[in-house]
Structure 1
Amino acid sequence: QALSSLKNPFRIFDPVNFYEVVATHIGMFPEIFTFSMRAYFKLKEIMRTERIDVVHDNQTLGYGLLLMKTLGVPVVATIHHPIPIDMKADLAQARKFSSKFRRIIFYSFIIMQHIVSKRMDRVVAVSDISAEDAVRIFHVPKSKVRVVHNGIDIEVFKKVDGVQKVPHNILMVGNTEDRKKGVIYLLQAMRILKNDTDVKLTIVDRKGDHTKYAPKLVHEYGLEDRVTFTGRLTTEELVRHYCAAEIAVTASIYEGFGLPCAEAMSCGTPVIATRAGALPEVVGDDDAGVLVPPEDPVALANAIKRLLADRALRQKMGQMARKRIEQRFSWEDAARRTLKIYEEVV
């Protein structure tokens, strides 16, 4: 794929291109390194005629960022969460040695991110827990870390007139191939509930060859008549699904923030989430949602059953959820905090 994208085939022998092709073929994930190098070369070119005050990286954390610093430009990096957390989750759920070995090869870029992250001028974390984890896992100096929570566009993610709740329908939004999302535990909860609770699960995720893990579990647990995959949705379609669901569930074993959970709350849909990563920061402790232990399908099933049986509680919780998002997670506040960080390093 990388070769076919080159207009001049001989450019394959450019060191960055050649490395990308070879590394991809042996199962590595070289794109974040190669992107950072190309970004460095482009920045160097631009700075011949333009003034650049700050470079802000969105968690590539590639070696090219260190080269950018040699140009005299401060570099700020956002870390949504340290990727070793993903690796740990993948390895824990891999059943075969060969699968574990492939995941170790894939995540080999973590060493680079460990080296680069601590050398940034500032690190922006999207939650308190991701800030703590950046310090603990990547050893980023605490003095360099700033927290800027993600924002939610409350004018987009809101109740839609005319959209009725689908009875007994719960919703999950996320990449089910990502083992951190905990789809296995949600499907195990569905298996527990299927004999005594009328409940249907809609999963917003891709279909086809890109999504194999969750459909395989659905078949293994005999849930074909209970679980539906939507495929990709537009933002408008996604909002309508949030509004139509009686409950939105985030069963993750870790979240650096948890955008689907916050989006559902913004739409006034009650949420059940795990006490994992930043989800307690998003859901809070003011009756805006239900928190359960991570990796606990029994607790998840009990929470789903209880909330489906209590319409008044769902309505109250949805109202509190919307209020919490409006008060705490605006993009305007995120922009102000980010600008302040830029002012620190310029």
Structure 2
Amino acid sequence: MTSQARPLRIALLSYKGNPFCGGQGVYVRHLSRELAALGHRVEVIGAQPYPVLDSVGEGVTLTELPSLDLYRQPDPFRTPGRGEYRDWVDALEVATMWTGGFPEPLTFSLRARRHLAARRAEFDVVHDNQTLGYGLLGLGLPLVTTVHHPITVDRRLDLAAAQDWKRRLSVRRWYGFTRMQKRVARRLPSVVTVSGSSRDEIVEDLGVRPGRIHTVPIGADTRLFSPDPAVPEVPGRIVTTSSADVPLKGLVFLVEALAKVRTQRPDAHLVVVGKRPEKGPVADAINGFGLEEAVRFVKGISDAELVDLIRGAEVACVPSLYEGFSLPAAEAMATGTALLATTGGAIPEVAGPDGETCLAVPPGDSGALAAGLERLLADPALRRRLAAAGRARVLAHFTWTRAAEATVALYHQAIASHPHRGSAPKGRGELRDQPPPAGGPRTTASAPLGPVVTRTAPEGKSTAPSGRTETEPGPVGSKS
């Protein structure tokens, strides 16, 4: 068997794998499944909220590398009890939170470094999913890192939306980890991103040399997200995905557009896959326009429920100001639902030409969104034409199988070019090598490391809820 054909042992790192929202959990779930389908062994190493995984045989396992879970509901920004502290990394995590910063990328990278140092011989390659923490430098293993888009983009948009100096100061503290991510990104041997737009942002914002960046588009699970004529369209239904009330997602402009559309189409209504905000711009717009009965939020739904929700919509809408890829666009197109999308970030790369595979409008323009919605709601023939062309585009360019095959090729490049295969990572204290644990699914524990649980993913498709939004750095906003 050639080295290219040999099954690889892959450590896939994800500091946040929320199955309810956030693109990181979606990426890890689908990529790990397709890598296993190609014959490789994938061990997902993640922190809370842990990802939900699908399995192909025993090809996918999950190792839980717990943090202190400081942002969990219903007590976010909590102070841990004295007995919860295990080591200096835990103390660093709490101290960073207390000063208004977001610690998880750094502290997860330190825990992952320690864990991998003890198991270096068990993996051929490490794939980091946008942690970009100091602990990942000098691992002694081939490393590939996915950057969906630089979080500096989120930082700029949040600063622009901040209404006073106190909020701007809070935003700057929260996004302090982006300085670390810039430094780490410039030293990475291989960066994977999901679109040409994100590639340009990584070069501009993070300073990564273009020759180190590889574009591998992701996509939809086209077996799940598929048309079903048996599901009737609901007149006036518009569906969108928004995990949080943040400027990046542009949901407030869609709510404003809905108010305009309902003056001509009283049956028009919006279903948002995400949590209803209790306050903020979206909540204010819904209340101000009297749309409480016309905007419904749903969360925690299964994949099957999500697909039927999209199938039953007359229009799927992506109103974002910026996206690094836009899974919601790809999944709506794969389902055979007509798409209205902005031209923010990489969305045009996914959605395709205006009038051919979607209707495209400028970001941040509620009037343009309203005009697009009115046009689509009034023209069933146009919806059918865009829906058919959209699905064909996804099948041709944006599937998880294609993404996995291209990613494996990058793994082999990283392995072939790694200069010190098998050398020990440098570190001090608790980052030094430790005796490797016994192989196979297991539970191990050590005083400084805390409990580490490895379990095999359940056979077949998971029915747990899945997020459909792009990567988020953690809880949106910060504690003031």
Does the TM-score normalized on the shorter chain lie above 0.5?
Answer: yes
Quote the Cα distance in structure 2 between the aligned partners of 1:158 and 1:54.
Answer: 34
Could you tell me which residue of structure 2 aligns to residue 188 of structure 1? 256
Q: Does 1:330 align with 2:399?
A: yes
Indicate if the aligned counterparts of 1:193 and 1:301 stay in contact, CA closer than 8 A. Answer: yes
Q: Which amino acid aligns with 1:273?
A: A
Q: Does 1:311 align with 2:380?
A: yes
Equivalent residue of 1:29, what SS?
A: coil
Cα deviation digits, residues 311-344 of structure 1 (max 9, x gap): 1000111111111111111212111111111111
Could you tell me which residue of structure 2 aligns to residue 83 of structure 1? 151
Could you tell me which residue of structure 1 aligns to residue 90 of structure 2? 17
Could you tell me which residue of structure 2 aligns to residue 258 of structure 1? 326
Shift of 1:27: 2.0
* Structure 1 outlier segments of 4+, above 3 Å: 3-11
Indicate if the aligned counterparts of 1:152 and 1:263 stay in contact, CA closer than 8 A. Answer: yes
Equivalent residue of 1:322, what SS?
A: helix
Quote the Cα distance in structure 1 between the aligned partners of 2:247 and 2:313.
Answer: 23
Q: Which amino acid aligns with 1:232?
A: G
Runs of 5+ consecutive residues of structure 2 not aligned to the other structure: 1-66, 73-78, 416-480
Cα deviation digits, residues 98-124 of structure 1 (max 9, x gap): 222211111000000000011111000
Deviates more, 1:185-194 or 1:100-109: 185-194
Equivalent residue of 2:291, what SS?
A: coil
Indicate how the Cα distance of structure 1 residues 174 and 11 shifts in structure 2: closer, same or farther if over 3 A, else same. Answer: closer
Could you tell me which residue of structure 2 aligns to residue 28 of structure 1? 101
Cα deviation digits, residues 172-208 of structure 1 (max 9, x gap): 1121323211001111212222322231111110247
- Structure having the higher helix fraction is 1
The one of 355, 361, 365 aligned to 1:292? 361
Quote the Cα distance in structure 1 between the aligned partners of 2:68 and 2:398.
Answer: 39
Could you tell me which residue of structure 2 aligns to residue 62 of structure 1? 133
Quote the Cα distance in structure 2 between the aligned partners of 1:340 and 1:155.
Answer: 24
Equivalent residue of 1:153, what SS?
A: coil
Indicate if the aligned counterparts of 1:153 and 1:331 stay in contact, CA closer than 8 A. Answer: yes
Equivalent residue of 1:345, what SS?
A: helix
Quote the Cα distance in structure 1 between the aligned partners of 2:86 and 2:392.
Answer: 56
Equivalent residue of 2:127, what SS?
A: strand
Quote the Cα distance in structure 2 between the aligned partners of 1:86 and 1:295.
Answer: 15
Equivalent residue of 1:295, what SS?
A: coil
Shift of 1:55: 1.0
Equivalent residue of 1:100, what SS?
A: helix
Could you tell me which residue of structure 2 aligns to residue 127 of structure 1? 195
Shift of 1:220: 2.6
Deviates more, 1:331-340 or 1:263-272: 331-340
Equivalent residue of 2:322, what SS?
A: coil
Indicate if the aligned counterparts of 2:357 and 2:389 stay in contact, CA closer than 8 A. Answer: yes
Indicate how the Cα distance of structure 1 residues 131 and 32 shifts in structure 2: closer, same or farther if over 3 A, else same. Answer: same
Could you tell me which residue of structure 2 aligns to residue 220 of structure 1? 288
Indicate if the aligned counterparts of 1:58 and 1:78 stay in contact, CA closer than 8 A. Answer: yes
Could you tell me which residue of structure 1 aligns to residue 265 of structure 2? 197
Quote the Cα distance in structure 2 between the aligned partners of 1:344 and 1:330.
Answer: 22
Could you tell me which residue of structure 2 aligns to residue 321 of structure 1? 390
Indicate if the aligned counterparts of 2:244 and 2:277 stay in contact, CA closer than 8 A. Answer: no
Could you tell me which residue of structure 2 aligns to residue 230 of structure 1? 298
Quote the Cα distance in structure 1 between the aligned partners of 2:84 and 2:389.
Answer: 56
Quote the Cα distance in structure 2 between the aligned partners of 1:2 and 1:294.
Answer: 38
Quote the Cα distance in structure 2 between the aligned partners of 1:252 and 1:212.
Answer: 17
Normalised to the residue count of structure 2, the TM-score between the two structures is: 0.68
Quote the Cα distance in structure 2 between the aligned partners of 1:325 and 1:283.
Answer: 9
Equivalent residue of 2:85, what SS?
A: helix
The one of 104, 118, 125 aligned to 1:45? 118
Between the aligned residues of both structures, percent identity stands at: 36
Equivalent residue of 1:232, what SS?
A: coil
User: What do you get for the CA RMSD once the two structures are aligned?
Assistant: 2.2
Indicate how the Cα distance of structure 1 residues 123 and 292 shifts in structure 2: closer, same or farther if over 3 A, else same. Answer: same
Cα deviation digits, residues 8-30 of structure 1 (max 9, x gap): 94562722110111211232110
Quote the Cα distance in structure 2 between the aligned partners of 1:263 and 1:129.
Answer: 19
Shift of 1:93: 1.8
Shift of 1:225: 2.5
Indicate if the aligned counterparts of 1:206 and 1:232 stay in contact, CA closer than 8 A. Answer: no
Quote the Cα distance in structure 1 between the aligned partners of 2:69 and 2:196.
Answer: 42
Shift of 1:3: 8.6
Equivalent residue of 2:175, what SS?
A: helix
Indicate if the aligned counterparts of 2:334 and 2:394 stay in contact, CA closer than 8 A. Answer: yes
Normalised to the residue count of structure 1, the TM-score between the two structures is: 0.93
Q: Which amino acid aligns with 1:320?
A: A
Could you tell me which residue of structure 2 aligns to residue 142 of structure 1? 210
Could you tell me which residue of structure 2 aligns to residue 2 of structure 1? 68
Quote the Cα distance in structure 2 between the aligned partners of 1:204 and 1:133.
Answer: 28
Quote the Cα distance in structure 1 between the aligned partners of 2:262 and 2:244.
Answer: 21
Quote the Cα distance in structure 1 between the aligned partners of 2:166 and 2:233.
Answer: 45
Corresponding pairs, count: 340
Indicate if the aligned counterparts of 1:3 and 1:9 stay in contact, CA closer than 8 A. Answer: no
Quote the Cα distance in structure 1 between the aligned partners of 2:412 and 2:157.
Answer: 37
Cα deviation digits, residues 147-174 of structure 1 (max 9, x gap): 0001211000012352110001111112
Equivalent residue of 1:248, what SS?
A: strand
The one of 401, 409, 413 aligned to 1:344? 413
